[in-house]
Amino acid sequence: MNNYHRFDCVIVGAGGAGMMAALEASQRVGTAVVSKLYPTRSHTGAAQGGIAAALANLEDDSWENHAYDTIKGGDFLVDQTAAEILARDAVECIYQLEHWGLPFDRTPAGKISQRRFGGHTKPNPDYDPSAPPGSPNARPRVPVMRSCHSADRTGHMILQTLYQQCIKQGVTFFDEFHMTDLILVDGECRGIVALEIATGQLHVFHAKSVLLATGGFGRMFKVSSNAYALTGDGPAIAYQHGLPLEDMEFFQFHPTGIYRLGILLSEACRGDGGVMINDQGERFMERYAPNLKDLASRDVCSRSIYQEVRAGRGIGGKDYVYLDIRAETINRFGTSPTGKPVDHRWVESRLPDIIDFSRTYLGVDPIREPVPIQPTAHYAMGGLPTDIDGRVLRDETGAIVPGLYAAGESACVSVHGANRLGTNSLVDLVVFGRRSGRDMARYARDHDFKPLPPKPEAASHAKIRGFLERPRNYPWVKLRDRLQHVMMDDCGVYRTGEGLERARREVASLKEQYATLGVQDKGSVFNTGLLEVLEFGNLLDLAEATVASALARTESRGAHSREDFPDRDDSRFFAHSFAFRDGPDSVRLAYRDVDVIYIEKDGQRQPKYPLEIRKY
């Protein structure tokens, strides 16, 4: 059969996580990368601001600082061993990327340049607990330059560099192949099924180990920074097979999306001194986060924007505020990262793409005017639960699914907990992409191919045939719009039990209608209508798990903010949620303890990162 392929390792997804894993695995065993997009089209290329690593190129820093910030930023829902690995391996991974040719910006000494980013701090050397509040010495921690960058297109450079290295190493790619199913037998993964977009044919990939690195699923929301392709296919397909999804209630809204379009304006804007301003010209973050202000973590900033808008202080009373990166504003507030005044040219050299986005899509020149912004659905903290080697967990006990791996945004290790810090996703991709690639190759070496069931493509075939055979009785786009609206309104920055209940009913009704849909195009070649419908089905399943997890978590933590339960409740919810499909319409939830590191101190066993109330 022409459509049968056999590789030791199959990697689904050619973003940062997938290609990093491919570079590792393909050095050791036969490896193929299957991607619905050409690798360089992956959304890793859209990442702007940078990648965190405590290189200490411009000021003192340490991986311990980075680990602490990651845990606190995640509102303590972070698995601590994983966070330490992230922070420690980040340094080595950045050097590896540099050696592969990644063109980082440089310091005057020729080293990799670094910038500030929200939530990345170090202890304040001048901290004085008795200093008057609001004075510089009253801050226990101060921002640190930890984000390694290449102007404001760091993700583009990472994606290009990894693809270049894949070409150099001769990695095998199946470009524009869309995974439609996982082959799971007796609880083990033995391969995948994928649709070749150019022909409409199904292909079977027989493998010893499979890595899912399909990226995020922000397209579940109306306003999103995510690409059209980000529909969470990997996690959704696993969920359809009864595997759990972890921490789905935590979805990050980035505070600075371009008004209406959701296109991201990186946090680097604020790292480099930009501030958010309300209708009264106030720098409102001074009220909500007196220490870090505009560099507080993203969930805090997004909620603050909503509060301002609710209080009628949105611009012109509307639902947006301004992001102001004009040199004179940076100088007026004294927010320049170097402490020295800046000029237009400096701003332009640091943020060229962002300035171009604003000019192109809004007709607003950020060098001269402030830019209208609103929170935009940005990053899935949740996803497929994995251990520190990328192995997918079968349930909350930590048992694994042999042969199945996940990495990148589609995975939940969890290093981001309830809220990811900026620049920590790109590190996650390289650190855990690399670890997964190594471990899946090791697994493939230690095991033989196991037989496939007869006709593993049958289920995909039946599903696709259904959409092609049914008439297009209803424009499916309207159903997708409804999903995106209800998720934005009732499962967005702020949530209530009542709103979530509404969302739950809406998703259930959409699922019912979904089952009756047909597409207009009955052809085989590049049937992108069919692909969109398949993707929409995946979004529906992920929405179902998200809403159920959010309903059950009756507390507020990180990005999950329940107006009816405004406080964090560590006694009940210091735990990861695991959502399982339980019958066609119901979701079963279970919880897994957060991984906590204990140390001996004063002859006592104590948590290394004691719980604290997160304040910025």
Q: Which residues bind another protein (CB under 8 A)?
A: 37-38, 40-43, 45-46, 55, 94-95, 98-101, 103-112, 150-151, 153, 156-157, 160-161, 164-165, 167-168, 198, 227-229, 260-261, 263, 353, 357, 360-363, 472, 475-477, 519-521, 523-529, 532
CA distances from residue 529 to 198, 236, 289, 524 in whole angstroms, order as listed? 13, 19, 46, 11
Among 79, 233, 246, 272, contact with ligand FAD (rule: CB under 6 A):
233
Q: Which of 162, 166, 210, 264 binds ligand FAD (CB under 6 A)?
A: 264
Decide: is 48 part of the binding site for ligand FAD (CB under 6 A): yes
Q: Indicate the Cα dihedral angle 332, 338, 340, 342, nearest 10°.
A: -70
Which one among 11, 14, 183, 589 touches ligand FAD, defined by CB under 6 A? 14
Q: How many CB atoms lie within 10 A of CB 232?
A: 33
506 binds ligand FAD (CB under 6 A): no
Nearest to another protein of 343, 564 (CB atom): 343
Mark residues 348-387: x for contact with ligand FAD by CB under 6 A, - for none. Answer: -------------------------------x--------
Contact partner at residue 584 from ligand FAD, another protein, none, CB < 5 to 8 Å by partner kind: none
x-marked contacts with ligand FAD along 101-140 as a string, rule CB under 6 A:
----------------------------------------
| Contact mark string toward ligand FAD, 136..175, x via CB under 6 A | ------------------xx--------------------
Q: Does 539 bind ligand FAD (CB under 6 A)?
A: no
Tell me how far, at minimum, the Cβ of 238 lies from ligand FAD, in Å. Answer: 12
- At closest approach, how far in Å is the CB of 417 from ligand FAD? 15
Cβ distance to ligand FAD smaller for residue 243 or 551? 243
Rounded Cα distance, 465 and 579, in Å: 29
CB distance 116 to 143 below 8 Å = yes
168 binds, among ligand FAD, another protein, none (CB under 5 to 8 A by kind): another protein
Nearer to another protein, 472 or 482 (CB): 472
Exposed/middle/buried for 78, CB within 10 Å: 0-12, 13-18, 19+?
A: buried
Parallel, antiparallel, or unpaired: how do β-strands 587-593 and 575-581 relate?
antiparallel
Contact with ligand FAD (CB under 6 A): which of 7, 16, 374, 589?
A: 16
426 binds ligand FAD (CB under 6 A): yes
Indicate the helix (H) or strand (E) that contains 74.
none
Which CB atom, from 480 or from 553, has the smaller least distance to another protein? 480
153, 298, 326, 568: which one is catalytic?
Answer: 298
For residues 227 and 223, what is the distance between their CA atoms, to the nearest angstrom?
11
Residue-wise burial string across 41-69, b where 16 or more C-beta atoms lie within 10 A, e elsewhere: bbbbbbbbbbbbbbbbbbeebbbebbbbb
| 258 counts as binding ligand FAD under rule CB under 6 A | no
Residue 178 near ligand FAD by CB under 6 A: yes
Stretch that binds ligand FAD, among 39-47, 196-204, 323-331, 555-563 (CB under 6 A): 39-47
- Looking at the Cβ atoms of 266 and 419, the one nearer to ligand FAD is 266
Q: How far is the CB of 495 from another protein (least distance, A)?
A: 27
3-state secondary structure of 572: helix
Contact yes or no for 409/231 (Cβ under 8 A):
no
Residue nearest to ligand FAD as judged by C-beta position: 15
Nearer to ligand FAD by Cβ, of 63 and 284: the residue is: 63
Look at residue 225 and give its three-state secondary structure.
Answer: coil
Q: How far is the CB of 306 from another protein (least distance, A)?
A: 23
Shortest Å distance, C-beta 95 to another protein: 6
Tokens of 208: 């010893």
**Considering only residues 9, 10, 11, 17, which one is a binding residue for ligand FAD as defined by CB under 6 A?**
17
DSSP 586: -
Give CA separation, 381 vs 172, 361, 408, 425, in Å: 30, 28, 10, 9
Q: How big is the CA angle at 264 (ends 259 and 267), to the nearest 5 degrees?
A: 115
Which residue, 14 or 415, is less far from another protein as judged by CB? 14
Instruction: Say which amino acid occupies 417.
Output: G
Coil, strand or helix at 352: helix
Nearest to 274 by CA among 320, 321, 329: 329
Whether 298 is a known active-site residue: answer yes
Sign of CA dihedral 426, 434, 78, 578: positive
Q: How many CB atoms lie within 10 A of CB 520?
A: 11
| Residues paired with 147 in a beta bridge | 52, 115
Q: Starting from the edge strand earliest in sequence, which strands make up the sheet with 251-258, in order?
A: 251-258, 371-380, 321-324, 275-277
Which residue from 118, 215, 235, 274 is in contact with ligand FAD, where contact means CB under 6 A?
Answer: 215
Could you tell me the two tokens for 90? 């980040």
CA distance 180 to 183: 10
CA 431 from chain centre, in angstroms, equals: 14
Give the residue with the Cβ less far from another protein, 228 or 598: 228
Q: Residue 269 Cβ, how far from ligand FAD at the closest point, in Å?
A: 11
| Contact partner at residue 523 from another protein, ligand FAD, none, CB < 5 to 8 Å by partner kind | another protein
Instruction: Answer yes or no: are the C-beta atoms of 451 and 204 closer than 8 Å.
Output: no
Residue 408, CA atoms < 13 Å, CB-side half-sphere: 29
Residue numbers at the binding site for ligand FAD (CB under 6 A): 12-18, 34-37, 42-44, 46-51, 154-155, 178-179, 213-216, 225-226, 229-230, 233, 264, 266, 379, 408-410, 422-426, 429
Query: What are the catalytic residues?
Result: 298
